[in-house]
C-alpha cells in the first residue's frame, strides 16, 4: 500500500493560509469549529490536535467530548446559544443538507457580525482542506 506524498510547498502554503483565517473569532470558538468540522470529516489526527488545543485554552473535557455530536444533540448547558449557532452553521457548511445554509447563516447572524460570519466560513473551509489532506496522506 502506498501513501500520498503532498508537496511540502503545498503544506506550507496551507499552513500559512490557515494562520490568516478566523481571526475575527475568539480562539476558543475557532477551535470548537475546527474540532466539530474534523469530527464530521472523520479526521482522527485533526480531532486529536484540536481537542488538545481546546484543552490548552481551558475548555472542559465535557465540552470537548460533546463536540463529537451534532450541536442539536448537545445539552443546552454545554454551549452558549451563539456558539451553538456558529457550530450549526459550520456543520451545514461541512456536510450540507442543501438549502439550509441561509437559515443557519441567518441564525448565526443574530450573534455574530458579518466579519465574524466570514471568519466562520474561512475557518470551516481551511479545516475541511486540512482534513482532506490529512486523510489522504494516512
Q: For residue 26, which of 75, 62, 72, 79 has the smallest C-alpha distance?
A: 79
Write phi, then psi, for 127 (nearest 5 degrees): -65, -40
Predicted confidence (pLDDT) at residue 111 exceeds the cutoff of 80: yes
Q: How many Cα atoms within 13 Å fall on the side-chain side of residue 138? A: 11
pLDDT average, residue stretch 93-115:
86
Residue given cell 452553521 in the structure block: 89
Give me the chain's average pLDDT, please. Answer: 92
What are 120-129's pLDDT values in tens digits? 999 999 999 9
> Does the pTM of the predicted model rise above 0.75?
yes
CA triple 33-137-39, angle to 5 deg = 25
**Residue 41 CB: number of other CB atoms within 10 A?**
18
Res. 95 pLDDT band, cuts 50 70 90: confident
Proportion of the chain above pLDDT 70, given as a percent? 94
pLDDT average, residue stretch 86-112:
87
Amino acid at each position: 500500500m502506498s501513501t500520498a506524498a503532498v508537496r511540502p510547498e503545498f503544506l506550507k502554503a496551507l499552513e500559512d493560509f490557515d494562520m490568516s483565517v478566523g481571526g475575527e473569532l475568539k480562539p476558543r470558538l475557532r477551535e470548537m469549529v475546527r474540532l466539530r468540522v474534523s469530527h464530521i470529516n472523520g479526521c482522527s489526527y485533526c480531532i486529536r490536535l484540536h481537542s488538545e488545543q481546546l484543552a490548552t485554552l481551558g475548555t472542559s473535557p465535557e465540552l470537548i467530548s460533546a463536540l463529537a455530536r451534532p450541536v442539536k444533540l448537545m445539552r443546552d448547558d454545554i454551549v452558549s446559544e451563539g456558539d451553538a449557532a456558529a457550530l450549526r452553521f459550520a456543520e451545514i457548511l461541512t456536510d450540507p443538507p442543501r438549502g439550509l445554509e441561509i437559515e443557519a447563516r441567518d441564525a448565526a447572524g443574530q450573534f455574530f457580525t458579518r466579519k465574524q460570519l466570514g471568519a466562520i466560513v474561512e475557518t470551516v473551509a481551511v479545516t475541511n482542506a486540512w482534513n482532506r489532506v490529512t486523510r489522504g496522506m494516512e
